[in-house]
């Protein structure tokens, strides 16, 4: 039975997970339950950051979103399409694009522009459309001048941008970044995050999975995953204000947030949590400087 | 006191004489003393990798001098293998070097290469595994490739620690680790210096951990050592660093931001506590701030 | 002293964009011409034919504006092997032409060095040289992506016979894509293991068996890494909607122009001529010249 027509209002969101469980190695002596009852709705246009320690189930959850994995129990709907239905798999993968952690292991062709064309080629698009999409995608990720380079000569950050181009060339409504910044240096990370912001500004739903707390501020919603369940779900400020809970979950807040927290304890009018260096400087700037201390 | 490691005007060019020639080092000077934790920072492509590969003889000095533990690395009769026993190198994502079926065997690979007797090897393996937090009895007979990523990294590190080197070089030790595991690893690194007096050289992009751990920092840019100093000295020059594509720890950035607005705050601060104290010192927090919004949150 | 970084810059298979007319030929035509020339080189059995082939090939190298040293680059690692083969031929060649056809230059026990063995060696060296130039020509003037697409298109008629042309071309392309990556990884692994005291025969003090055993710390991690990459890549390909060759279109378009057909015709005619000619006009001349020279050399060595 296919769920081609959404029967309830809930299933019109971009992504819906209903009581999703996933067990690895179910038949073997030591099965691992990676997801334990996830209920989640993500709407079109959101920028959601999914955070959790290693082993929390983040990657497993990501792979359910484009039917790379199917739930052992529960249902996953992408724009109303059930991932368990084989007839929908292609459409689902055109709707949700994914970028993975290791930049090298996503690039399949010997030349950048050919790799970006891989997805559209799979879609069977006519030649002119292929060229259009490749040009468009490369422009968005700012890699046009590298179009005829071989991938192994690019930096890790550049490779990731090519991987992103390859995903968005399929014009997905949603892009999942599965720990896409984990192996990058600070500059590479910045390049990828800026690209994600650009895409978000164009209306693409972004789901960024990471274990870096300071990346949580990129989005408007933070979901904290712990041992296969959703432990926290709110705006970055809401989540960061619960520092004790975060520490319990093996996570921490960025140093600037900790600093803001401490100052707040001395002066309750000082806002907390603060998420960035700029915010902190801005807020402190409102206070008068002490007199008599070389001021 | 003579430094355990000294580099003088080191130059290096890859694939000299071929069309793929690339200059990597253009005159690096460096000095490391016994028991120090020295960090090398710099943007990608600055030559950090090339530099550290000189320290255990993987690359020999083409031009310039390198002295490690009293030995001149230009000496053609240098006992390279002996050097590698004293200078341990832990590469980026070291778990990629694992090959033995059982954890214990892989950790023993290093000591065995140096012809140590079985009881000695066993003892070293045990000690190394305990140091990284892998129980000897529990893990020695586990299948190497059935472990988690973090555990495999610990096995790889133990494999180098088992050589009991006097100098340890870490290349991006926390790359790919989640914050909790990263923090655990970094405190183990400090322990190694504190308890075993191992000299540590740390190459890293993570400024927060560099600021915490390092006694001194060298900034490498385009194959040259352009800055050297304590973390306080280096990070108080945030503007300069930003020009090089490097960042300072977050709280130091805050102090620089405040200084930029005319506040006479110190900028050579590294930790949250220090920053808090300085802010309290320089700002009158008792006063209500100008143009505040009560319902900010 | 080992320079580990040399692995990353293997030039067999490297495309050098000199933009000559050879570069601009359709890859399918080039692959067919390559095959025809390989056949010609293999079956040419006279000095004359071989020399003509060599001259023609060198001419094509000139036409492609590639510096000759690149074309011969692949020869360098093979030189010790060539020397060994040459020596084996020299010492153990059995003359099939009968004792009258060849004159003995030197004889010692069962080792019989005759003019015929010299001839064979000469031919062998010429052939090797020509093969090297041919392969280099093909890979230095054709992008790998053109090669794989060209191969796939050429073989696609065989799809009707259930021949997996698309899959083969994809395998080939992915292998080429990852070759430098894996070479870089091998370098990293070698350095890591050497840092732990592993000996890779630096200084050549190790016996053959020991050296092979020492390869495990290199091969196992490399193999495992390759498997992991394959798994990741398969996942990424699936995520991008790959479901096999059916229904796929192609970004790279190949168009055969008249000049491709012309080149193909020329080369085809040339190869046929070489193969079916009995040109050994020069053979006698070269033969006696080389033999005389060889005799002199041996006399000087032996006496």
The pLDDT value recorded for residue B95 is 92
Asked if residue B253 belongs to a domain, the reply is: yes
Residue B236 gets which letter from DSSP?
T
The pLDDT value recorded for residue A227 is 93
Model confidence at C211, pLDDT cuts 50, 70, 90, reads low
Report the neighbours of A using a cutoff of 3 or more CB pairs below 8 angstroms: B, C
* CA distance linking residue B102 with residue C142, whole number of Å: 46
Which residues face A208 on adjacent strands? A49, A177
The pLDDT value recorded for residue A9 is 46
ipTM over 0.95: no
Strands (E), B126-223: 167-171, 199-203, 216-221
Which residues face A221 on adjacent strands? A48
Could you tell me how many CB contacts below 8 A there are between chain A and chain B? 124
Buried b (16+ CB within 10 A) or exposed e, A238-269: ebbbbbeebeebbbebbbbbbbbbbbbeebeb
Q: What is the domain range of residue B268?
A: 249-284
Buried b (16+ CB within 10 A) or exposed e, B173-194: bbbbbbbbbbbbbbebbeebbe
Nearest to A62 by CA among A223, A195, A200, A198: A223
Contact between B129 and B159 under an 8 Å Cβ cutoff? The reply is no
End-to-end C-alpha distance for chain B, whole angstroms: 57
Model confidence at A3, pLDDT cuts 50, 70, 90, reads very low
Closest CA in chain B for residue A259: B272
The CA–CA distances, whole Å, from A117 to A125, B198, C172 equal 10, 51, 18
| Domains present along chain A, CATH in parentheses | 9-253 (3.40.50.300)
Residue C81 predicted with pLDDT over 90: no
- For chain C, give the percent of residues with pLDDT over 90: 17
Which has more confidence, A167 or B244?
A167
The mean pLDDT value of chain C amounts to 79
Most C CBs within 10 Å, among A92, A122, A168, to test the C interface: A122
* CA distance linking residue B64 with residue B26, whole number of Å: 10
The pLDDT value recorded for residue B94 is 94
Q: Which residues of B touch C199 (CB under 8 A)?
A: 81, 113
Model confidence at C203, pLDDT cuts 50, 70, 90, reads very low
| Number of neighbouring beta carbons within 10 Å of residue C94 | 9
CB contact under 8 A, B58 and C191: yes
Closest CA of chain B from C216, distance in Å: 7
Rg (CA), chain A: 21
Mean pLDDT over C221-238 rounds to: 95
Q: How far is CA B275 from the centre of its chain?
A: 25
The pLDDT value recorded for residue C215 is 83
DSSP helix/strand/coil, B7: strand
DSSP string for C96-130: SS-TTTS-EEEEETTEEEEHHHHHHHHHHHHHHHH
CB contact under 8 A, A255 and B287: no
Residue C238 predicted with pLDDT over 90: yes
The CA–CA distances, whole Å, from C271 to C38, C50, C256 equal 9, 12, 21
DSSP string for C10-63: --TT-------HHHHS-HHHHHHHHHHHHHHHHH--SHHHHHHHHHHHHHHHHH
Which residue among B53, B113, B145 places its CB closest to the CB of C198? Answer: B113
Domain extent listing, chain C: 4-302
The pLDDT value recorded for residue C112 is 67
CB contact under 8 A, C145 and A106: no
Range scoring the smallest mean pLDDT among A145-149, B116-120, B211-215, C46-50: C46-50
Q: What would the pLDDT profile of C245-287 be if each residue is shown by its tens digit?
A: 888 898 988 888 888 899 999 999 988 888 877 666 666 666 6
Closest CA of chain A from B290, distance in Å: 5
Residue C107 predicted with pLDDT over 80: no
Asked if residue B117 belongs to a domain, the reply is: no
Model confidence at C11, pLDDT cuts 50, 70, 90, reads very low
CB contact under 8 A, A293 and B281: yes
CB contact under 8 A, B258 and A281: yes
* CA distance linking residue A24 with residue C303, whole number of Å: 79
Which has more confidence, C236 or C62?
C236
Most A CBs within 10 Å, among B289, B291, B294, B296, to test the A interface: B289
DSSP helix/strand/coil, A85: coil
Residue C285 gets which letter from DSSP?
H
Q: Which residues in chain B show pLDDT less than 50?
A: 292-297
* CA distance linking residue A243 with residue B93, whole number of Å: 31
Which residues face A17 on adjacent strands? A40, A76
Mean pLDDT over C73-102 rounds to: 70
Contact between A271 and B270 under an 8 Å Cβ cutoff? The reply is no
Q: Which residues of C touch B160 (CB under 8 A)?
A: 195-196
The pLDDT value recorded for residue B124 is 94
Residue A249 predicted with pLDDT over 70: yes
What's the predicted TM-score (pTM) here?
0.84
DSSP string for B243-294: HTT----HHHHHHHHHHHTT----S---SHHHHHHHHHHHB-TTSPPTT--T
Q: What would the pLDDT profile of A54-97 be if each residue is shown by its tens digit?
A: 888 999 999 999 999 999 999 999 999 999 999 999 999 999 99
Closest CA in chain C for residue B108: C196
- Match 């920072």 to its residue by tokens: B41
The pLDDT value recorded for residue C102 is 67
- Residues in B whose CB is inside 8 Å of some CB of C read 14-15, 18, 20, 53, 56, 58, 60, 80-81, 84-85, 88-89, 91, 94, 96-99, 109-110, 113-114, 145, 159-160, 163
Contact between A95 and A172 under an 8 Å Cβ cutoff? The reply is yes
Asked if residue B3 belongs to a domain, the reply is: no
Buried b (16+ CB within 10 A) or exposed e, A41-50: ebeeebbbbb
* CA distance linking residue A243 with residue A236, whole number of Å: 12
Model confidence at A112, pLDDT cuts 50, 70, 90, reads very high
**In total, how many domains does chain B have?**
1
* CA distance linking residue B127 with residue B156, whole number of Å: 14
Which residue among A105, A122, A126 places its CB closest to the CB of C240? Answer: A122
Is the C-alpha dihedral spanning C275, C277, C278, C279 positive or negative?
negative
Q: What would the pLDDT profile of B218-249 be if each residue is shown by its tens digit?
A: 999 999 999 999 999 999 888 888 888 888 89
Mean pLDDT over A19-30 rounds to: 88
Report the neighbours of B using a cutoff of 3 or more CB pairs below 8 angstroms: A, C
The mean pLDDT value of chain A amounts to 90
Query: In degrees rounded to 5, what are phi and psi of residue A12?
Result: -90, 0
Asked if residue B259 belongs to a domain, the reply is: yes
CB contact under 8 A, A54 and B282: no
Contact between B36 and B216 under an 8 Å Cβ cutoff? The reply is yes
* CA distance linking residue C201 with residue B253, whole number of Å: 51
The pLDDT value recorded for residue B294 is 45
Contact between B38 and B218 under an 8 Å Cβ cutoff? The reply is yes
């Amino acid at each position: 039975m296919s769920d081609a027509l959404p029967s309830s209002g809930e299933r019109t969101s971009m992504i819906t997970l209903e009581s999703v469980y996933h067990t690895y190695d179910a038949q073997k002596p030591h099965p691992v339950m990676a997801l334990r009852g996830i209920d989640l709705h993500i709407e079109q246009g959101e920028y959601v950051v999914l955070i959790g320690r290693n082993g929390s189930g983040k990657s497993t959850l990501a792979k359910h979103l484009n039917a790379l994995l199917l739930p052992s129990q529960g249902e996953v709907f992408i724009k109303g399409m059930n991932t368990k239905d084989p007839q929908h798999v292609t459409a689902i993968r055109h709707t949700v694009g994914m970028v993975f952690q290791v930049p090298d292991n996503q690039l399949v062709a010997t030349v950048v522009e050919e790799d970006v064309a891989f997805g559209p080629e799979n879609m069977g698009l006519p030649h002119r459309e292929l060229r259009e999409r490749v040009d468009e995608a490369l422009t968005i990720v700012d890699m046009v001048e590298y179009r005829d380079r071989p991938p192994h000569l690019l930096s890790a950050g550049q490779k990731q941008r090519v991987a992103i181009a390859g995903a968005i060339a399929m014009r997905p409504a949603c892009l999942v970044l599965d720990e896409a910044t984990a192996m990058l240096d600070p500059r590479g990370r910045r390049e990828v995050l800026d690209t994600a912001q650009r895409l978000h500004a164009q209306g693409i739903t972004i789901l960024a999975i990471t274990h870096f707390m300071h990346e949580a501020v990129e989005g408007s919603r933070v979901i904290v995953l712990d041992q296969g369940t959703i432990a926290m779900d709110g705006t970055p400020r809401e989540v960061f204000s619960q520092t004790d809970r975060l520490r319990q979950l093996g996570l921490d807040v960025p140093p600037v947030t900790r600093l803001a927290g401490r100052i707040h304890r001395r002066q309750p009018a000082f806002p907390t949590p603060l998420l960035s260096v700029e915010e902190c400087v801005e807020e402190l700037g409102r206070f008068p400087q002490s007199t008599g201390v070389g001021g | 006191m003579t430094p355990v490691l000294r580099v003088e005007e080191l130059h290096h060019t890859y694939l000299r004489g071929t069309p793929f020639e690339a200059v990597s080092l253009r005159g690096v000077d460096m000095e490391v003393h016994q028991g120090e934790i020295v960090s090398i920072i710099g943007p990608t492509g600055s030559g950090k990798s090339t530099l550290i590969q000189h320290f255990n003889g993987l690359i020999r000095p083409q031009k310039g001098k390198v002295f490690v533990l009293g030995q001149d690395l230009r000496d053609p009769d240098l006992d390279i293998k002996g050097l590698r026993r004293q200078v341990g190198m832990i590469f980026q994502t070291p778990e990629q070097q694992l090959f033995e079926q059982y954890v214990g065997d892989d950790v023993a690979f290093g000591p065995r290469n140096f012809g140590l007797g079985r009881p000695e090897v066993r003892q070293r393996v045990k000690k190394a595994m305990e140091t990284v937090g892998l129980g000897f009895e529990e893990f020695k007979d586990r299948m190497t490739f059935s472990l988690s990523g973090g555990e495999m990294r610990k096995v790889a590190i133990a494999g180098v620690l088992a050589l009991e080197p006097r100098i340890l070089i870490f290349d991006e030790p926390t790359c790919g680790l989640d914050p909790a595991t990263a923090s655990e690893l970094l405190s183990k690194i400090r322990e190694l210096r504190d308890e075993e007096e191992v000299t540590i050289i740390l190459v890293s992009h993570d400024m927060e951990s560099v600021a915490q751990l390092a006694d001194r920092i060298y900034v490498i840019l385009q194959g040259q050592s352009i800055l050297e100093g304590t973390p306080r000295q280096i990070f108080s020059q945030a503007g300069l660093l930003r020009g090089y594509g490097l960042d300072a720890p977050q709280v130091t950035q805050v102090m620089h931001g405040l200084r930029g607005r005319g506040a006479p705050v110190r900028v050579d601060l590294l930790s949250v506590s220090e920053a808090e104290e300085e802010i309290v010192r320089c700002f009158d927090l008792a006063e209500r701030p100008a143009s505040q919004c009560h319902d900010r949150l | 002293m080992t320079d580990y970084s040399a692995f990353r810059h293997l030039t067999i298979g490297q495309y050098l964009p000199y933009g000559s007319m050879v570069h601009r030929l359709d890859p399918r035509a080039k692959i067919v011409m390559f095959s025809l020339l390989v056949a010609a080189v293999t079956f040419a059995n006279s000095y004359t034919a071989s020399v003509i082939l060599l001259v023609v090939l060198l001419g094509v190298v000139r036409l492609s504006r590639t510096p000759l040293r690149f074309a011969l680059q692949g020869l360098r690692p093979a030189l010790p092997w060539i020397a060994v083969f040459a020596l084996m031929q020299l010492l153990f060649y059995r003359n099939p032409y009968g004792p009258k056809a060849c004159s003995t230059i030197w004889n010692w026990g069962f080792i019989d060095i005759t003019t015929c063995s010299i001839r064979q060696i000469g031919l062998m060296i010429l052939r090797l040289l020509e093969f090297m130039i041919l392969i280099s020509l093909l890979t230095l003037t054709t992008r790998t992506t053109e090669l794989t697409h060209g191969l796939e298109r050429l073989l696609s008629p065989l799809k009707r016979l259930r021949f997996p042309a698309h899959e083969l071309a994809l395998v080939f392309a992915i292998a080429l894509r990852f070759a430098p990556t894996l070479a870089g990884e091998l370098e990293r692994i070698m350095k890591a293991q050497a840092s732990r005291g592993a000996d890779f025969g630096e200084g050549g003090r190790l016996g053959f068996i020991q050296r092979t055993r020492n390869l495990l710390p290199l091969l196992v991690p490399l193999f495992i890494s390759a498997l992991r990459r394959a798994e990741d890549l398969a996942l990424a390909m699936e995520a991008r909607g790959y479901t096999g060759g059916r229904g796929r279109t192609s970004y790279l378009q190949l168009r055969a122009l008249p000049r491709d057909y012309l080149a193909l015709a020329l080369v085809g005619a040339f190869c046929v001529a070489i193969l079916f000619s009995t040109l050994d006009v020069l053979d006698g001349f070269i033969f006696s010249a080389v033999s005389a020279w060889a005799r002199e050399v041996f006399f000087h060595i032996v006496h």
